[in-house]
Structure 1
Amino acid sequence: MNKILEEIIEFRNKRGWKDHDTPQALAKSIIIEAAELLENYQWEDSEPDLENVKEELADVLIYSLAMVSDLGLDPEKIIREKLIKNKIKYPD
């Protein structure tokens, strides 16, 4: 996880995008990319373009991981914490 996170941040920083990647801008970008992902499933009777699904999922993950990094959070830790809460909320 750390390796890919470093690659994302390095890519962004080399292009001078760090100043624009505020938590608010990243949250908006996550929603925009998620909407683009949803477009693949807009029409129930059509098959989604798997290549586009992968690209849009990657965009959502990239923006999410950039936000995690900028907020100083540990992605594995916050996922595990949420899974624990979900297990309590939705027991077997």
Structure 2
Amino acid sequence: MTIDELTRVINEFVTAKGWYADETKFPQTPRNIATSVVIEAAELLEHFQFGDNPVDKAALAGELADVANYLFQLAYLLDIDLTQAILDKLKVNYDRTW
């Protein structure tokens, strides 16, 4: 499945939950979704709080999925081609001296 296909599935979920509706308690604004990316990334870090190896890989996978879901949705809301953005950033990083 491609990033675009995953984004479509995510948007179907968000729509089904009513979160794109004007009267929702959970507005899906870029700012709110960017905030959610950071919150979920922090939850990802909890799995490494006291060691280098996560104890519960299934729970870790769920947190990774949460981060990805919000990241894909944010790119969609801001009309950013995430596939191209990733490829562009990789090119920059290949040419970069670390």
Normalising by structure 1, what TM-score? 0.89
The answer as to whether partners of 2:19 and 2:28 remain within 8 angstroms in 1 is yes
- Quote the residue 1:4 is aligned against: 6
Q: Which residue of 2 aligns with 1:54?
A: 61
Q: Kindly report structure 1 stretches of 4+ aligned residues shifted beyond 6 Å.
A: none
* Uncovered stretches (5+) of structure 2, i.e. residues with no partner: none
Deviation at 1:48, TM superposition (A): 2.7
Tell me the SS of whatever aligns to 1:89.
Answer: coil
Q: Which residue of 2 aligns with 1:34?
A: 41
Label 1:74 to 1:48 Cα distance change in 2 as closer, same or farther (>3 A). same
Distance 1:4 1:46 in 2: 28
1:70 counterpart (60, 69, 77): 77
Cα displacement string for residues 56-84 of structure 1 (whole angstroms, at most 9, x for unaligned residues): 00000000000011111111100001101
May I ask how many residue pairs the two structures share in their alignment? 91
Q: Percent identity?
A: 36
Deviation larger for 80-89 or 38-47: 38-47
TM-score, normalising length: structure 2: 0.84
